[in-house]
Structure 1
Amino acid sequence: MDITLSQCFIAVDDHDKALAFYRDALGLDVRNDVAFEGMRWVTLGSPAQPGVEIVLEPPLADPGASPADRQAAAELLAKGLLRGVIFSTDDVDATFERIRESGAEVLQEPFDQPYGVRDCAFRDPSGNMIRFARRRTTG
């Protein structure tokens, strides 16, 4: 039995700002953009991974949610506590510079982690932590 990743979801509070980050700064392709019951879902992916998609969704994708639940979700999102994604890259430093030049909020400059990766981190426009990593070779 083979199990592969198909989709992951990232909560965003402004899809247009999120698109400027994920599409324009990161270079992901928009695969779908759907509105339903006053909410919006945008699906993106890397041309190098046609079978894997990131879905930008509302923070609380439940039309029946209470105002208190919506407020709680918005507060968690603003603190960066809902989700995050780690991308692989062949050049962490070049990726860092390109994304920093887009104006994204830097959380961590490129750094060699003790667990064997070089990585860096940013916040997307909604506050989610997005990391870019490359496994270091030993030798």
Structure 2
Amino acid sequence: MYNNINISHVFVLDQDEAYDFYVNKLGLEVAADMDLGVMRWLTVRVPGDPDRQILLEKPGPPSIDEASAEQIRDLVTKGATGFTFGLTTDDCRKTYEVLKSRGVEFTQEPTEHFYGIDCGGRDPFGNHFRIVQLAPEPIQPPAQS
């Protein structure tokens, strides 16, 4: 029925600041940056990957009324939106060091798990993301006790 997910979104409070963070610090590339009149359509993607984009969406009209947008802004600021997106890498520790040197805030250093090595960070607004270096072989999760 479906082939893949081509776009998802992350709420951001300032699209210029989001552009700087996601492009200049995280290393994603701009897929689209258009003024639609009622909103700015700003999407980023992993360089060279045309199949998946993240809309850096400012909460507000036309999709959300102002009262709801204020509640969303409050939740984003508190970091209460939970996991927003995940990225994969061939070397989690190296990626962590590069991004840390660019000023990316991390909530967890690279940690080994049964599925690979991952670390957690957040954007300037409080959105949480993960970066994972997947294990080379398909592996089974530990048995539940």
Coarse TM-score class (shorter-chain normalised):
0.7 to 0.9
* SS class of match (2:124): coil
Give 5+ residue unaligned stretches, structure 1: none
Equivalent residue, structure 2, for 1:121? 120
Equivalent residue, structure 2, for 1:112? 112
Q: Distance in 2 between matches of 1:54 and 1:14?
A: 15
Normalising by structure 1, what TM-score? Answer: 0.86
AA aligned opposite 1:110: P
AA aligned opposite 1:73: I
Normalising by structure 2, what TM-score? Answer: 0.82
AA aligned opposite 1:123: R
Q: Distance in 2 between matches of 1:31 and 1:51?
A: 10
Which has the higher relative contact order, 1 or 2, with Cα contacts under 8 A spaced 6 or more apart?
Answer: 1
Q: Distance in 2 between matches of 1:59 and 1:105?
A: 23
Please show how residues 1-139 of structure 1 align to structure 2 within 5 Å.
Answer: 1-37=1-37, 39-62=39-62, 65-66=65-66, 68-82=67-81, 84-113=84-113, 115-137=114-136
Deviates more, 1:56-65 or 1:27-36: 56-65
Query: Residues 97 and 33 of structure 1: is their aligned pair in 2 closer, same or farther, counting only changes over 3 Å?
Result: same
Q: Distance in 2 between matches of 1:57 and 1:2?
A: 24
CA contact (8 A) 2:92 2:118 kept: yes
| Count of aligned positions | 137
Query: Residues 64 and 12 of structure 1: is their aligned pair in 2 closer, same or farther, counting only changes over 3 Å?
Result: closer
Question: What is the deviation of 1:7?
Answer: 0.8
Query: Residues 116 and 58 of structure 1: is their aligned pair in 2 closer, same or farther, counting only changes over 3 Å?
Result: same
The root-mean-square deviation of aligned C-alpha atoms, in Å, is: 2.1
CA contact (8 A) 2:117 2:134 kept: yes
CA contact (8 A) 2:39 2:62 kept: no
* SS class of match (2:71): helix
Give 5+ residue unaligned stretches, structure 2: 140-145
Large movers: runs of 4+ above 4 Å: none
